[in-house]
Structure 1
Amino acid sequence: MSLTLTASAADLQWSPLPALPDARGFAGSFAGVVDGTLMVAGGTHFIDKMPWEGGTKVWYDTLFALEKPDGAWRVVGKLPKLNGYGVSITTPAGWIVLGGGNATEHFREVFWVQKAGQLPPLPKPCAFMCGCESDGVIYISGGIETPAATTALSTFWSLDLKQSDAKWQELPHCPGKPRILACMAAVNGVVHLFSGAALHAGKDGKPEREWLNNAWAYEPATGWKKLPDMPRVAVAAPNPAPVIDGKIYILGGDDGANVNFEPKEKHPGFPRSVLVFDVKTQTWSQAGEVPFSLVTTNAVRWQDQIVIPGGEARPGVRSPQVWIGTIK
């Protein structure tokens, strides 16, 4: 869901939950809630060397479950495939995993986790996209079709879960540049799209990023409109972005300032500042900092709190830490 919470104050008090039972942790994993239980699945990490040393990224399918905040994580199953970097959304009807991929291919599959029932596949294979749910409709934007793609998809799709025979609809594309690793949130039926990175082929033929700080809003009745630019870039911030009292919270994200930092093993991590977009006034502000540096991860509503389950702490380095934010 769009993680809308009711609060008298907009500040969050963060504390650690039990860490995931893997010393390295995962980036690009999926997370959601099934029958009140918090779950995390899939993702990647490096087990031998860092990527700049020629390390191999390993993909996972393990499904972990945490039944209560003071409990312990258990392994309760597996995803259908080794998978990461797709979208996961918790709805009133259950937890859905959409797309993603591995080292050699990206996926179209869309499925309920630990629940029977079929959902139509995405129109194209897709990973590194963003998504959210609004009024029973899932929205998916951007991403890339293959692991080696040098341009991002401009696609904007919707699936109405209220219709038993629903099919994916292709909606008008965002007027901004096609992007990966953006962040989305829905407030009062309006879908918001933030930051991300555009792609182009570099001199070596490999994808290079253009860091984006623009923001957009889509209303089904009227289409897209441009919002005020963000105070900074926030690529791969936890998705979907939490919404509190009509304000959208962008929790950290990579601003690209240290993309060429050397030595790489001393990278300071990603920004921790919290950017807040007030939907009513259409203005940006800042609301302190989070105690973690985590990107390519999820924001999950659980027990009326916000959970950030692991992610990438700095380039090549994952974290097993799980954080929960409580409204002060």
Structure 2
Amino acid sequence: MAHASCTDHHPKTISLSRRPFSWKVSGLLPPLADGTPNKGIAGPVVGVSRDFLLIGGGSNFPLSPPWEGGQKKYHRQVYVYQRAADSLQPVRLPVPAELPYQVAYPACCSTDMGLVVAGGENEQGPLSKVLLLNWDAQKKKLQVENLPDLPFALTSGMLTAVGNTLYYAGGNGASGTSDAFFKLNLDSLGTPNANWQALPPLPEKTAYGVLYGLDSLQQVFLVGGRKSVAGGPSELYANVYQFDINRHTWNKKAPLPFPLSAHSGVTFDAETLLVFSGDRGETFLRTEALLLQIAAATEPQKKAALIREKNKLQASHPGFVPAVLAYQVNRDSWSEIDTIPFPGQVTTTAVIWDDQVIIPCGEIRAAVRTANIITGTLK
């Protein structure tokens, strides 16, 4: 039977009356082959397999930010980490571990069967591929299996597991932001019935949110996210929805304290959902508004001035909210329980590994990645 580390139940109950975590930088992405420091990656593949942490794929701007002409680069290398004392150390590999293709912004979920990587994007656009990754410590080799493809290509979607079933939600595809909601029974693998099955669509078209699974309650929660709007600014959500697996119904729950997207999160104990960092959208929406004005401007001087304003806005991005929010399912209420003492990391996947929350890499300002792997240990 599979369960998701992104929805793992911690043996302890979290205290909401104090700052419950001790935060530290426990590791870094290794230097590049030429010895230069790693710039970090956003939208990485992240998960735990056989007591090893896998971090790979992702994207960055290796030479310069996009407003200076820099090109986004997609990656396929996978870094493998093990615990050493109170840090995370990369495993030395005889041959670099690689994914079968470059990918960033996939939906990731750790299960007993391995790390599932669904969709994402690269230079060719959104992907429908779904991978199952496992680390073979004896051979020091990444094992890669193909799972059934998503029904269509999607990036920046959300994935969780309840029992032996994967649930995939939303994302951005050829027709914009999706309200698709699918399930895949892992017990069906290897049979003619091994495919993704459609479920009642999401209440709202959503990408860059977090999907949580609660085994004991047979429920899935969709928290926050955003929707692209053709010809207009994106819509950011504070909305929270609960899907009842047995009844196949969506129900609206208490919203986040503020709209949030690109955050990460874990199910901490049987009835607590945690949210880490996220984009409240102030700079994001102002940038989108300027892009719309640039597209509409016909006078060269005005267009150039607007481009300068947009570039300055992005270059001075203040970073992302470092808050830790907790939702108590039995009370249907949110509270802010902690502050991460490092720049907020977005467009990444948080996992629970034994007694620690791990938040690897991600974006810390517009087009700026981090190579830090931070951990939060329950005090």
TM-score normalised to the size of structure 2?
A: 0.80
Cα 1:199–1:71 change in 2 (3 A) is closer
Query: Is there any run of 5+ residues in structure 1 with no aligned partner, and where?
Result: none
Residue 29 (structure 2) pairs with residue 20 (structure 1): yes
Residue deviations 1:231-258 (CA, integer Å, cap 9, x gap): 112201115x342351101111101123
Which of 212, 216, 241 is the equivalent residue of 1:216?
241
Residue deviations 1:246-280 (CA, integer Å, cap 9, x gap): 11011111011232375422221001111111001
Amino acid at match of 2:116: I
Which of 126, 130, 134 is the equivalent residue of 1:110?
130
d(CA) in 2 for partners of 1:117, 1:54 = 37
Identity %: 27
Q: Name the structure 2 match of 1:51.
A: 66
2:70 is paired with a residue of what secondary structure? coil
d(CA) in 2 for partners of 1:111, 1:52 = 34
Q: Which has the higher helix share?
A: 2
Which of 136, 155, 163 is the equivalent residue of 2:180?
155
Query: Is there any run of 5+ residues in structure 2 with no aligned partner, and where?
Result: 32-37, 134-141, 288-311
1:121 is paired with a residue of what secondary structure? coil
Q: Name the structure 1 match of 2:151.
A: 123
Residue 224 (structure 2) pairs with residue 192 (structure 1): no
Q: Name the structure 2 match of 1:65.
A: 80
1:264 is paired with a residue of what secondary structure? helix
d(CA) in 2 for partners of 1:316, 1:110 = 26
Conserved? CA contact 1:111–1:118, under 8 Å:
yes
d(CA) in 1 for partners of 2:320, 2:26 = 21
Please give the root-mean-square deviation of Cα atoms over the aligned residues, in Å. Answer: 1.7
Cα 1:140–1:8 change in 2 (3 A) is closer
Larger Rg, first or second structure (1 or 2): 2
d(CA) in 2 for partners of 1:258, 1:245 = 35
Q: Which segment is superposed worse, 285-294 or 190-199?
A: 285-294
Amino acid at match of 1:269: G
2:371 is paired with a residue of what secondary structure? strand
d(CA) in 2 for partners of 1:234, 1:143 = 15
Q: Name the structure 2 match of 1:233.
A: 259
Amino acid at match of 1:195: G
**Cα drift, residue 63 of structure 1:** 0.6
d(CA) in 2 for partners of 1:234, 1:56 = 27
Conserved? CA contact 2:243–2:251, under 8 Å:
yes
Amino acid at match of 1:172: P
Residue deviations 1:123-178 (CA, integer Å, cap 9, x gap): 111111111111121111111124xx5x2011001111122333211000122x20
Residue deviations 1:100-145 (CA, integer Å, cap 9, x gap): 1113222111121134654211111111111111112111111112
Cα 1:116–1:45 change in 2 (3 A) is closer
d(CA) in 2 for partners of 1:30, 1:116 = 13
d(CA) in 2 for partners of 1:234, 1:116 = 33
d(CA) in 1 for partners of 2:187, 2:339 = 38
Q: Name the structure 2 match of 1:6.
A: 11
d(CA) in 2 for partners of 1:313, 1:117 = 32
**Cα drift, residue 7 of structure 1:** 1.5
Q: Name the structure 1 match of 2:373.
A: 322
Q: Which segment is superposed worse, 133-142 or 252-261?
A: 252-261
1:68 is paired with a residue of what secondary structure? strand
Residue 118 (structure 2) pairs with residue 98 (structure 1): yes
Conserved? CA contact 1:34–1:95, under 8 Å:
yes
Residue deviations 1:33-53 (CA, integer Å, cap 9, x gap): 121111101000002221222
Which of 303, 317, 324 is the equivalent residue of 2:354?
303
Q: Which segment is superposed worse, 60-69 or 263-272?
A: 263-272
2:76 is paired with a residue of what secondary structure? strand
Q: Name the structure 1 match of 2:207.
A: 180
Cα 1:8–1:170 change in 2 (3 A) is closer
Residue 169 (structure 2) pairs with residue 141 (structure 1): yes
Q: Name the structure 2 match of 1:252.
A: 277
1:55 is paired with a residue of what secondary structure? coil
Conserved? CA contact 1:242–1:306, under 8 Å:
no
